[in-house]
Structure 1
């Protein structure tokens, strides 16, 4: 059974979802793929995990890096889960490119290369925004592209983390707009 709760962040309302294992979803209302894999049968209920998640988000939105983790339950494909685990290793306030993630997966699998576009698809379908920091992934050329929550939120999250934005730019057209 999945449970849901709501959180009002400074940059938009958020829907949280969890099951008995961990957090399964964190979506900005209206974002692309909003609650795509939320069980049809779910219950709005304040379970103890949501208290911990909301505390984590309170610290995060105060401009500080939370010093604890919350239990996560990835519900994607094996490939998506592999990408999402790499997202969790991107340090607060830093960025990584889709290509760098692709190289990590290729090396792990013993392949000569991996498609950065395939990685982009997995990043874009991340069900647990912010805590699984897909907003920290940028194009090789510094393009701020591919955030399901919208380019404006991606920029605000990176600014909140005091990421070096000097070499990053908003694309004129693309998936983030």
Structure 2
């Protein structure tokens, strides 16, 4: 997972002309790798269709708040936006992850296999993260944690956008 987190962090800090933070970023990314894997597995086990990401949004919002961010919920129905203000003046950049899962029944025996179902087109079906959105959310949560741990050194702000219903719009019944 560190190999996945690091490019996002380097891209973010490069946008702020802060590549000198790379050693600190690398160390922090390594220290939270198991947490990112745990988040990914949790999101994979409990996927939700677009505009129904209520549990997912709650997990994300609680995490961003625990990092001291300003958090806005219910954006475009179930989206979450967190703002991390750096300690120094500078631009704002945005990083985004998609939150929704697909109406697909998972057919494997992972320990974190999807357990959720939903009604889709009038039929009960399995729901799963088949496109990597579980990883996208977990990685962005990890990036948020790493960047929050060094916010005093950041020039500018970062907006963390967790977008619902990226795969399509579903009723939020």
Same fold (TM over 0.5): no
If the length of structure 1 is used for normalisation, what is the TM-score?
0.29
Structure possessing the higher radius of gyration over alpha carbons: 2
Higher relative contact order (CA 8 A, sep 6+): 2
If the length of structure 2 is used for normalisation, what is the TM-score?
0.29
Give the structure with the higher percent strand: 2
